[in-house]
Amino acid sequence: MKPAPFDYLAPVTVEEACAALAEAGGGATLLAGGQTLLPLLNLRMSQPFIVIDLNRVAALKGISRGQACTRIGAMTRQCEAIASAELARALPVLVKAVKHVGHHQTRNRGTVGGSIALGEPAAELPATAVALDAIIEIVSVRGKRETAAGEFYLGPYMTTLEPDELVTAIRFPDWPQGHITLFREVAQRPGDFALVGLVGALVVEDGKVARAGLAWFGMGPTPIRARSAERMLLGQPLEAIEANAVAERAVADTAPFDDHHASAEYRRTVGARIFARTLREAFPAKEAA
């Protein structure tokens, strides 16, 4: 199908974009990479009066170092994130997650901020932001604000973003060099949304878990932080970790649903398996012992 008619604006500054958004009073849609929006427009599931294209706003692009964090401009393309030496060094698990978003051809347009602002519950990047304690930078004509990714998601495609607000960047706090990364997803085909997915990072000091950030995707209406599992892991000597028990606890925090791809029961079962397996693989030393 073809989209319903709309007006198109291509601002070049953040201020112009905010002004256009405020003026539209809820009738506008922001166009980032367009890899979700264009299908919705083509299917007429979305029929905005105005499409505000952010692709010419240079200030929203690029990856930079901040204070003890890496800052990713919202309009940084997924292919740029994958190619970034800075991200490969600082946030290897984010790079791994981005590689699972869509296909090569959609990652050439799709943006990091677009995926994070959209809030698809089975998507990789929102969960990665939640797991790694990312901060989301938001702007509108009313001013700037920031929110923790963990507080940003309210439900499927629902966030705390107001109609006049836009996401400008995502800041990921540093994790120490050599931290352990965890990522696994189960999908029917490469490029599909995950049926069940897990992402996170761990820091081990003196043989004990000193820091943990883990989150599920596809396991509820939003990305879900595996808080109880993290609490179980923290302070534990590696050899005392019972992967299956932690996985059970991690699944207890989720709220998966039935849909035409998989049942909630399937998601819980597979979730527990991949959680335990991913943990075990993260500590190969214990496996050998």
Partner 1 sequence: MSEHRISMTINGLRHVSNAEARVSLSDFLRGNAGCTGVHIGCEHGVCGACTVIVDGLAVRGCLMLAVQAEGAEVTTVEGLAAGDGTLHPVQQALYDEFALQCGFCTPGVVMTLAALTAPGSKANEQQLLAAMSGHICRCTGYQGIRRAAKKLAAAPAGEQP
Kindly list the residues in this chain that would bind partner 1 in the complex (CB under 8 A).
1-8, 10, 31, 34-35, 38-39, 41-43, 51, 53, 55, 79, 102-106, 108-109, 189-191
Distance (Å) of CA 214 to CA 81, 191, 251, 275: 21, 22, 12, 10
CB of 252 to partner 1, least distance (A): 34
Show the CA angle centred on residue 220, arms to residues 94 and 90, nearest 5°: 10
15 and 9 Cβ atoms separated by less than 8 Å? no
CB of 60 to partner 1, least distance (A): 15
Other beta carbons within 10 angstroms of residue 243's beta carbon come to 19
Rank residues 3 and 173 by Cβ distance to partner 1 and give the closer one.
3
Angstrom distance (rounded) from CA 200 to CA 213: 5
CB of 166 to partner 1, least distance (A): 18
Rank residues 190 and 284 by Cβ distance to partner 1 and give the closer one.
190
Rank residues 54 and 247 by Cβ distance to partner 1 and give the closer one.
54
CB of 197 to partner 1, least distance (A): 17
Rank residues 64 and 188 by Cβ distance to partner 1 and give the closer one.
188
Angstrom distance (rounded) from CA 21 to CA 227: 36
Rank residues 6 and 257 by Cβ distance to partner 1 and give the closer one.
6
89 and 65 Cβ atoms separated by less than 8 Å? no
CB of 56 to partner 1, least distance (A): 9
